[in-house]
Amino acid sequence: MIFQLHLKRLAERHQMIRFSCLTLLLLVQICILPYAHSQNANNAGKEEAETCVAPNGSPGHCLVYTECANLALWRRQHNLQNSEDVKKMLCSNDEIHVCCNHTNPYLTDTDYLTQLNPDGLALLQAVRCTLPLTDRVANGKNTILGQYPFMALLRYDVPGRPFLCGGSLITSWFVLTAGHCITPTLIGVRLGEYKLSTEIDCVSGTLCLPEAENFLIAQKFKHPNYNKPMWTHDVALLKLDREVKFKIHIKPICLPISPLVFDYKNLPKYYYVAGWGHTQNTNSSDILQHAKIPHQDRNICERIFAPHGIGITYDHICAGGKDRVDTCKGDSGGPLFAPAPFKKMNGITFNRQVQFGIVSFGFIGCGDNNTKEAAYANVFEYMPWITNILALET
């Protein structure tokens, strides 16, 4: 019995030493090596790997640590300091598999958070942005009253056509829109609108929203590298003349500032677009429209727009092209958005409406039988610029 007990203790000690050595090796890999393996190997390993949940609550794949693309980045994102912290990453009984973050095809730089202005990021983190409610867009449908309180109408000094672009409220001072919407005739922003022809928007005569509110523009910020002929860097910010008071019909949309968003395994297969834009055969819609459109591989838009001399890059998201649903003239500058995991508290993940793109350009004749995919400015790529502007101007 004493001999058996001694063997058992030796086995336990051996197991402890083995675990400590493997954990130490993993900790060294995380803290010292910037890349443990090539990205191609990482992607290949993910094809057969089991899914798991990372220490920060984001989805990942259970991989041998040498196949995790960037262990040094993990150390920074998850504040891994010692062997106890490293244990949180383990996802198998062999102590060498870790729950490795998914890479994000929208990003050229995997070290995302460090690229953002910390003061601008803090302002966005303090915003209580919009919860998803449910599941002018050509062939779209009327929205529910107050469904998208972040939608903005851009007001122009143009007789008979005051609203030529859209946008999205992102803080109590700023509206995000497209660079090509910034013109000398742009004079204001309307928030909280639903039906253009009525001052008070109601359904069934009893359920009503407060009146829409008009703002002047204190400053216009067009991306310094905006290039209309090439349709790149098509993003802009508008600082309003006074602070917005959030109400039931006026609230900001979330931007992709959470690890749960940019590490999200299933980046949206479908997005939503909304606006009052023109349809194929009519003037602008009287009621806010919305529609669901599919995400498309970037190379699809590359093939479509290359013959027209327009290059599709990481600046763009490609979406749409099905069921005659499209964004049209007047929807420019509006958000491309989807419900996505945004916050995790006490083990519960909360979704928010997150803006992934900005309506940028497509083909004339939107919403007809030959509807094609359209290009949207990729908000991920512009978050460093956006947070810089917020930090400087607030």
Q: Which of 234, 263, 315, 326 is catalytic?
A: 234
Partners of residue 126 on adjacent β-strands: none
Q: What does the H/E/C string look like for 182-215?
A: CCCCEEEEEECCCECCCCCCEECCCEECCCCEEE
Catalytic residue, from 168, 258, 285, 332: name it. Answer: 332
| Among candidate residues 210, 162, 161, the one with its CA nearest the CA of residue 189 | 162
Clarify whether 172 is annotated catalytic. no
Residue type at position 139: N
Letter string b/e over residues 291-329, b meaning 16 or more CB atoms within 10 A of that residue's CB: bbbbbbebebbbebbeeeebebeebbbbbbbeeebbbbb
CA distance 231 to 154: 20
* DSSP characters over 95-135: S-EEEEEPP-TT-S-S--GGGS-HHHHHHHHT---PPP---
141-168 burial by CB neighbour count: b if 16+ within 10 A, else e? eebebbbbbbbbbbbbeeeeebbbbbbb
> How wide is the angle at C-alpha 390 spanned by C-alphas 387 and 392, nearest 5°?
110
H helix or E strand, kind and range, residue 83: helix 83-87
CB 20 within 8 A of CB 87: no
- Whether 119 is catalytic is no
**H or E stretch covering 239:** strand 236-240
- For residue 267, give both structure tokens: 């980046």
Q: Which residues pair with 269 in a beta bridge?
A: none
Is 180 among the residues known to form the active site?
yes
Q: Do the beta carbons of residue 94 and residue 256 sit within 8 Å? A: no
Catalytic choice (180, 223, 249, 290):
180
By annotation, the residues acting in catalysis are 180, 234, 332
